[in-house]
Amino acid sequence: MNKTFIIISVLFLGLMLGCSSDTLDGDTPEQIRPVDKTANLQGTGDSARDLLSNDNFRKLKIEIAYVDGFQPTQEAMNGFVSYLKERTFKEEVELVYQAVQSPDEESLTLDEIVDLEDKHRTVYNEDDTLAIYIYFADAPADGDDLEEGLVTLGAVYRNTSMIIHEATVRRLADQSFFISDADVENTTLNHEFGHLFGLVNLGTTPINDHEDVQVDENGEAETDARGNPIGNNHCSVQGCLMRAELQFGGPSNKGASLLSKNSNNLVVPCRLSGASVLKMLENHTSKGLADPPGLDNECLLDLASNGGR
Ligand SMILES: [Zn+2]
Ligand SMILES: [Zn+2]
């Protein structure tokens, strides 16, 4: 992890200890330094190795900030924690729930999502604890097209930040008798966390090439200036959790996504679409499988090569 952060943490700890004892040598107790948030404000996938291995952090602390009434199911959170323990070497995964007020928005832009994080997030990396923030929203993503069925279930926009559009998750689950809120929540959480683990080609280098390509509205592969196909940070293997059947508004999809336009210059590598997850879950439940879809061997190989299990 970054040395400056560790040094600042040590200094801060020293200051706290200094304040709590009576052996002050001229320090004024009022001068408490603000929390250093830098390590938690990096790009998606930048903390992949720190999440997977125990080199720098042994514990994961996940803040679940949910709009009152939009708390995720216990069943989904249990499944999510098992997934984290299966894929990483973390010895402890702690969930901290925080009910927050509704922002009273019809839809949320990325800038608004970032502002909400500034307002609500309370956990940041500390000592050997790596902190994650997940916001469960009562509003859909800006740019959703309900008529076309293009809805966003969740997105990642930083190394330790994620949003789940819980209102959209529930609406989607209601469409199918066989699929529960917990199924959609768990699949969305696991998929988005896969991006924080650096999948695919997003901070974790693929061992074998299995990155899918970005396509335009006509289904044609988009190419860069040299004529090479542009990767879309998703997996090309059928049935894999990191496959996105219907990807829209990826980082290179210029201007197509409202969510990708933001004043913070954040790159959103994934807006997980409802249609994609519905298809994933329907294929899965038709085989009679109870657990959410898992990672294929290529994705597992990548994670293992970057410090994961
Ligand atoms: Zn994705
Ligand atoms: Zn995969």
Is the model's pLDDT at 255 over the cut of 50? no
Q: How far apart are the first and last CA of the chain?
A: 20
Whichever domain contains 54, its CATH number is: 3.40.390.10
Which is more confidently placed, 302 or 217?
302
Q: What is the pLDDT of residue 260?
A: 54
Q: What is the pLDDT of residue 4?
A: 59
Secondary structure letter of residue 145 according to DSSP: B
Report the separation in Å between the CA atom of 243 and the middle of ligand 2, taken as the mean of its atom positions.
6
- Residue 24 located in a structural domain: no
Ligand nearest to the CA of 240: 2
CA 183 to chain centroid, in Å, comes to 17
Please give the angle made by the CA atoms of 172, 173 and 177, to the nearest 5 degrees: 125
Ligand nearest to the CA of 212: 2
Q: What is the mean pLDDT of residues 183-212?
A: 96
Ion ligand 2: residue ranges with CB closer than 5 A: 235, 237, 240, 242, 296, 298-299
Q: What is the mean pLDDT of residues 239-249?
A: 73
Count CB atoms within 10 A of the CB of residue 252: 15
Where in 30-188 does DSSP place strands (E)? 59-67, 92-100, 129-136, 152-158, 161-164
- Residue 8 located in a structural domain: no
- 2-36 confidence digits (pLDDT tens): 555 555 565 555 555 544 444 444 455 556 778 89
Is the model's pLDDT at 257 over the cut of 50? no
- Residue 21 located in a structural domain: no
- Residue 234 located in a structural domain: yes
Residues 6+ apart with CB under 8 A from 101: 67, 68
Q: What is the mean pLDDT of residues 90-101?
A: 97
- Residue 17 located in a structural domain: no
- Residue 75 located in a structural domain: yes
Instruction: Count how many domains the chain has.
Output: 1
> How far apart are alpha carbons 74 and 139 in whole angstroms?
21
pTM: 0.85
CB–CB of 165/181 below 8 Å? no
> How far apart are alpha carbons 120 and 142 in whole angstroms?
20
Domain range spanning residue 277?
35-305
- Residue 83 located in a structural domain: yes
- Residue 22 located in a structural domain: no
Q: What is the CA radius of gyration of the chain?
A: 20
Report the separation in Å between the CA atom of 250 and the middle of ligand 1, taken as the mean of its atom positions.
9
